[in-house]
Amino acid sequence: MRQEKPFILLLSFFILLGPAVLHAQQPYHLDTNVITIGEQAVLTIEDPQHFVEMQQLSQNGVIVAGQTIDSLPTDEGYRIVQRNRITSFEAGDRWLKLSEEDSLMLRVLDVEGVDTSSLDIKDIAPIAKEPYTFWEIFRWILLGLIVAGIVVGIVYVIRRRRSHESILPKALKPSIPADAQALQELDALRQQQLWQQGKAKEYHTRLTDIVRGYMEEMFGIRATEMTTDETLDAFMQTTAHSEQTEVMLRQMLTTADMVKFAKSEPMPYEHDRSMTNAVAFVMNTRPRPVEDAEKEKETKEEKQ
């Protein structure tokens, strides 16, 4: 009996010490082996060679909620450990596959006191809708106005093009009569002496532009957008047309075309003749005062 007592004490010592030794050698341990659905347990791995990835643990109904690497101070320096926060929403025994040889069991308990069979299962609540703010509404209105403006602009340009009208609105009519305006511009052009400075093309271009602008204001002829022949044909349909004024207009336009397109070099007298004809054309086609018209009528009747 005395010989069996030491053996029993030694056996009890190994039985009590065995789990502690096994735990010291095991690099994995859970802070708890039993959780309720939705609760979390912490799996600590103390050997970097046995660290696992989140995908490896996320199986058999186990979900990894987070994973961190920590350094713990020891007598010999620091020890690196990996902590994994795991949970599960399925009741039962869940095995954590840590390596080919090692696994840990996590027991997941159902929530007590809840009888799911007696409860109505409800759909997931829809996303709550926030009320629209002023800016959210206004920006759509602003975008609509911009798009509408672009569409109206495109339609306007297409219609003006089809009717051969200028896209931009016409400038306001001068406060002085068209003939007076043209004569002032011709006089200013003469004083600049452009052709004397070798700027014959600019001189004739501006001269014909003045006359064409005068015709547009006076007779409604869109001369600024017409060729020479079209301008002459349109002028011949007006009441101001005469053989003399036609000759004046033809000389001005033809000479300008030769300078601008054929790079012709007119003689000095041709430059002066274009200016003289331009002034005479305006003078002979502008509206006449009532008194002058009556005197001309009386003169014609006396000659008859």
The answer for residues whose C-beta is within 8 angstroms of residue 253's C-beta and 6 or more apart is 208, 228, 231, 232
Q: Which of 216, 256, 254 is nearest to 235 (CA)?
A: 216
Q: Which of 92, 89, 29, 33 is nearest to 58 (CA)?
A: 89
Residues 164 and 258 grouped into a single domain: no
Residues 140 and 97 grouped into a single domain: no
Residues 42 and 143 grouped into a single domain: no
The answer as to whether 2 is a domain residue is: no
The answer as to whether 147 is a domain residue is: yes
Give the type of residue at 205. T
pLDDT at 144: 92
The answer as to whether 118 is a domain residue is: no
Residues 105 and 139 grouped into a single domain: no
pLDDT tens digit sequence for 212-225: 999 999 898 888 88
pLDDT tens digit sequence for 134-158: 888 888 999 999 999 999 989 888 8
In the chain, count H helices and then E strands. 9, 7
Residues 201 and 264 grouped into a single domain: yes
The answer as to whether 4 is a domain residue is: no
Instruction: Find the helix or strand (DSSP H, E) in which 63 lies.
Output: strand 62-74
258: which 2 tokens? 């030769």
pLDDT at 20: 43
Q: Is the pLDDT of residue 13 over 60?
A: no
End-of-domain residue from the set 143, 169, 195: 169
Please tell me whether residue 270 adopts helix, strand or coil conformation. Answer: helix
The answer as to whether 300 is a domain residue is: no
Q: Is the pLDDT of residue 3 over 80?
A: no
Domain, as residue range, for 144: 133-169
What CATH number should be reported for the domain holding residue 38? 2.60.40
C-beta separation of 42 from 85 below 8 A: yes
pLDDT tens digit sequence for 90-131: 888 988 888 778 888 899 998 876 666 666 666 777 787 788
* Domain count within the chain: 3
Taking the whole predicted model, whether its pTM rises above 0.85 is answered as no
The answer as to whether 56 is a domain residue is: yes
pLDDT at 72: 81
C-alpha dihedral, 67 to 69 to 74 to 78, nearest 10°? 170
Instruction: Find the helix or strand (DSSP H, E) in which 29 lies.
Output: strand 28-30
Q: What is the DSSP letter of 124?
A: P
Exposure letters 222-245 (e unless 16+ CB within 10 A, then b): bbeebebeebbebbeeeeebeeeb
